[in-house]
């Protein structure tokens, strides 16, 4: 049975997000990595987290595959299920940001509308969209999990880029040309943005 909104209420905490920022000595935000399968989202998000750790930033990676082991293990890949998956991740990310963490998400999140809905959950500049741009041809060449091959022969339905659409971000805060630059260059591009926008202190 669904609980009706009239029967629930939000409980305010005694410790605010600003209090957690003061304790952590840094702001919190969500770094939302989006792009085709094989574009390099997971590898880049993990590398960024390591650098943030070296900066003594409290962070956590929410990876698309990992989330489908638990939180979204009852969802498929239909447009409706993809929408619900992103909604769940948005809500979890919002809680993590409120907890004072740099929240790093790595999801295909193919639809602009869904990403826009998640963006609206956050305050000010807390949502940083990072488009990991990589040509379909290069993603297919890499095909780390063999998914494109299966999609091409019809073994996987609703596969983004082949039998389902990917809508490129129109105004992403960061665009990573991941088929044209090294992992180190991509990480540096993101860290530079975070410093410039005062999420990180410049040394």
- Identify the residue with better confidence: 59 or 8: 59
158-178 pLDDT, tens digit per residue, is 899 999 999 999 999 999 999
109 has catalytic annotation? yes
* Residue 68 pLDDT greater than 70, yes or no: yes
pTM, two decimals, is 0.92
* Residue 4 pLDDT greater than 70, yes or no: no
Contact 100, 21 (CB under 8 A): yes
Mean pLDDT of 184-196: 97
The CATH number corresponding to 15-196 among 2.30.130.10, 3.30.565.10, 3.40.50.300, 3.40.50.1260 equals: 3.40.50.300
* Residue 3 pLDDT greater than 70, yes or no: no
CB atoms within 10 A of CB 83: 16
Percent of the chain with pLDDT over 70: 97
pLDDT value at position 56?
95
Sign of CA dihedral 38, 55, 128, 62: positive
pLDDT value at position 1?
43
pLDDT value at position 96?
97
**Residue 64 in marked binding region:** no
Distance CA 122, CA 103 (A): 12
Active-site position among 28, 59, 93, 109 = 109
**Residue 100 in marked binding region:** no
pLDDT value at position 144?
85
**Residue 36 in marked binding region:** yes
Mean pLDDT of 21-50: 96
Written as one string, the DSSP assignment of 103-124 is EEEE-----HHHHHHHHTTS-T
Compute the mean pLDDT over every residue in the chain, rounded to the nearest whole number: 93
Q: Where exactly are the structural domains of the chain?
A: 15-196
* Residue 123 pLDDT greater than 70, yes or no: yes
* 116 confidence band (pLDDT: 50, 70, 90): very high
pLDDT value at position 2?
55
Name 166's Cβ contacts closer than 8 Å, sequence gap at least 6: 36, 108, 110, 160
Contact 176, 189 (CB under 8 A): yes
Alpha helix stretches (DSSP H) within the chain: 17-24, 41-54, 64-69, 79-98, 112-119, 136-142, 147-152, 183-196
* Residue 157 pLDDT greater than 60, yes or no: yes
**Residue 70 in marked binding region:** no
């Amino acid at each position: 049975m669904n609980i009706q909104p009239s029967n629930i209420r939000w409980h305010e905490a005694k410790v605010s997000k600003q209090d957690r920022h003061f304790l952590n000595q840094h702001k919190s935000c969500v770094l939302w990595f989006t792009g085709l399968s094989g574009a390099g989202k997971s590898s880049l998000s993990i590398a960024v987290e390591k650098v943030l750790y070296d900066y003594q930033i409290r962070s956590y990676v929410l990876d698309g595959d990992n989330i489908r082991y638990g939180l979204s293990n009852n969802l498929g890949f239909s447009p409706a299920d993809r929408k619900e998956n992103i909604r769940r991740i948005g809500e979890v990310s919002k809680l993590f940001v409120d907890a004072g963490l740099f929240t790093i998400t790595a999801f295909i999140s193919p639809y602009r509308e869904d990403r826009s809905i998640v963006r609206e959950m956050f305050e000010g500049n807390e949502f940083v969209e990072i488009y990991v741009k990589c040509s379909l041809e290069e993603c297919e060449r890499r095909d780390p999990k063999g998914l494109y091959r299966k999609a091409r022969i019809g073994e996987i339905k609703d596969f983004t880029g082949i039998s389902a659409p990917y809508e490129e971000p129109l105004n992403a805060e960061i665009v990573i040309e991941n088929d044209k630059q090294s992992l180190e260059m991509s990480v540096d591009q993101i860290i530079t943005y975070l410093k410039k926008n005062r999420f990180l202190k410049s040394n």
